[in-house]
Amino acid sequence: MDVAELGAWLRLSLTPGIGNAGARQLLAAFGSAQAIFEQDASTLRQLGSDRLADALLTEPATLADQLQATLDWLQGADNRRVVTLGDTGYPPALLDIEDPPSMLYMLGALDPWAPAATNNAAPCIAIVGSRNPTPQGESNARQFARVFGEAGLCVVSGLALGVDGAAHDGALLGGGTTMAVVGTGLDRVYPKQHLALAHRIAQRGLIISEFPLGTPPLTANFPKRNRLISGLSQGTLVVEAALKSGSLITARLAAEQGKEVFAIPGSIHSPLSRGCHALIKQGAKLVESAQDVLEELSLPQLSPALTAEADADGHPADDPLFAAMGYEPVSLDALQARTGLATAELQAHLLALEMAGEVARLQGGLFQRMARG
């Protein structure tokens, strides 16, 4: 994209009163961003209101600075790019939503929609939830995301504290890719606590924003970017959410976009399970495991090994420790109570299984059986 073209797209995005839907109509009418600004006043007035035409004919005061800032940002590192509605590299899934952004800022090694991309087949699953989850909720987000990552899915979330962060982290831990759709300009990282995480995401995944460089964290922009999180994804999983929360907005948008909504149930006494329960009452799918989600999505390209995993994970069926363990995180005390083994014997057994990668040691002194990859 040359400077003139970039300038025209920026001008379109900075012109007040147009909006994404309006921009799409103008582009359809005139063929390109540059062509819009080559029209004379009477042509523009025929198309819409006088006010809209006047707005298009007036160069925004911030345009020159914004163009320079964008050019500087693009040159600052290799993996930065701007993709517009007119580009072949625009995410096809977003063309199906009601108001696709005319411009997307992207940052990261992952480029799944580039014409020559080799990794463009990864289906996306969104994971959203509370910024202040329970410890179990955060652990669930990480664990589900890890299995999705292992299964070759790309985990989409919003880089927020809590569930979002755990989801990105889990996807990377699982060796998968992840996309963060953020509500600020890409020259900023919000929240600051996720600076290191953002760097890790950029190294193997992608950070996406529809907002111009320099956009600070504005309350109104966060619900707005939620439509991109659901829009990019085949389904949206809500891990923990209060009754009135941004996660439920994302779930509603996903449902409106015709996507699957999944929710993890919890205690009826936990306020952070209320949102998930409300979604299930409204028709979202109750899921107890990442496998539940994988089975519901249409994922023809999953490796056959994964399909078998749902049935049996290949552990020796005659090892009573596995039966006692089940598939959930379990404490040493609980394992002892279930197996009747002495502590030393149990720990030696667990250590051997951990070394063999068959059991994971989780924080909080818990153990969990691992599915064989």
What is the distance between the alpha carbons of residues 373 and 371, in angstroms, rounded to a whole number? 6
Q: Note whether 331 binds a second copy by CB under 8 A.
A: yes
- Identify the three-state secondary structure at position 296: helix
Q: Note whether 270 binds a second copy by CB under 8 A.
A: yes
Q: Note whether 55 binds a second copy by CB under 8 A.
A: no
Tokens matching residue 260: 């699957």
Q: Report DSSP state, residue 193.
A: G
- Closest by CA to 57, choosing from 71, 44, 76, is 44
Q: Note whether 134 binds a second copy by CB under 8 A.
A: yes
Q: Are 212 and 118 in contact (CB under 8 A)?
A: no
The amino acid sitting at 77 is A
* Inter-CA distances, 255 with 164, 236, 278, 295, Å: 20, 9, 14, 18
What is the distance between the alpha carbons of residues 49 and 45, in angstroms, rounded to a whole number? 6
Q: Note whether 141 binds a second copy by CB under 8 A.
A: no
Q: Note whether 269 binds a second copy by CB under 8 A.
A: yes
Q: Note whether 316 binds a second copy by CB under 8 A.
A: no
Q: Are 236 and 259 in contact (CB under 8 A)?
A: yes
Q: Note whether 324 binds a second copy by CB under 8 A.
A: yes
Write down the least CB distance from residue 355 to a second copy, Å.
20
What is the distance between the alpha carbons of residues 128 and 166, in angstroms, rounded to a whole number? 10
Q: Are 262 and 284 in contact (CB under 8 A)?
A: yes
Q: Output the CA torsion 128→131→137→143 (10° steps).
A: 60
Q: Which of 274, 321, 350, 359 binds a second copy (CB under 8 A)?
A: 274
Q: Note whether 307 binds a second copy by CB under 8 A.
A: no
Q: Note whether 170 binds a second copy by CB under 8 A.
A: no
Write down the least CB distance from residue 366 to a second copy, Å.
7
Q: Are 210 and 228 in contact (CB under 8 A)?
A: yes
Q: Note whether 283 binds a second copy by CB under 8 A.
A: no
Write down the least CB distance from residue 321 to a second copy, Å.
12
Write down the least CB distance from residue 336 to a second copy, Å.
8
Task: Name the segment binding a second copy (CB under 8 A); options: 31-39, 69-77, 215-223, 305-313.
Answer: 305-313
Q: Note whether 369 binds a second copy by CB under 8 A.
A: yes
Of 86 and 265, CB closest to a second copy: 265
Q: How does strand 177-181 pair with strand 206-209?
A: parallel
Considering CB under 8 A, how many residues would be counted as binding a second copy?
45
Q: Are 102 and 84 in contact (CB under 8 A)?
A: yes
Write down the least CB distance from residue 281 to a second copy, Å.
6
- Identify the three-state secondary structure at position 370: coil
Q: Are 182 and 210 in contact (CB under 8 A)?
A: no
* Inter-CA distances, 8 with 11, 37, 69, 148, 152, Å: 5, 7, 15, 39, 38
Of 91 and 137, CB closest to a second copy: 137
Q: Note whether 351 binds a second copy by CB under 8 A.
A: no
Q: Note whether 329 binds a second copy by CB under 8 A.
A: yes
Write down the least CB distance from residue 136 to a second copy, Å.
5
Q: Note whether 115 binds a second copy by CB under 8 A.
A: no
Of 192 and 269, CB closest to a second copy: 269
What is the distance between the alpha carbons of residues 37 and 164, in angstroms, rounded to a whole number? 40
Task: Name the segment binding a second copy (CB under 8 A); options: 52-60, 173-181, 222-230, 274-282.
Answer: 274-282
Q: Note whether 334 binds a second copy by CB under 8 A.
A: yes
Q: Note whether 50 binds a second copy by CB under 8 A.
A: no
Q: Which of 5, 99, 313, 354 binds a second copy (CB under 8 A)?
A: 313
Q: Note whether 286 binds a second copy by CB under 8 A.
A: yes
Q: Note whether 11 binds a second copy by CB under 8 A.
A: no
Tokens matching residue 265: 């149930």
Residue ranges in contact with a second copy by CB under 8 A: 134-137, 140, 264-271, 273-274, 277, 280-281, 285-289, 310, 312-313, 323-324, 326-331, 333-334, 336-338, 363-366, 369, 371
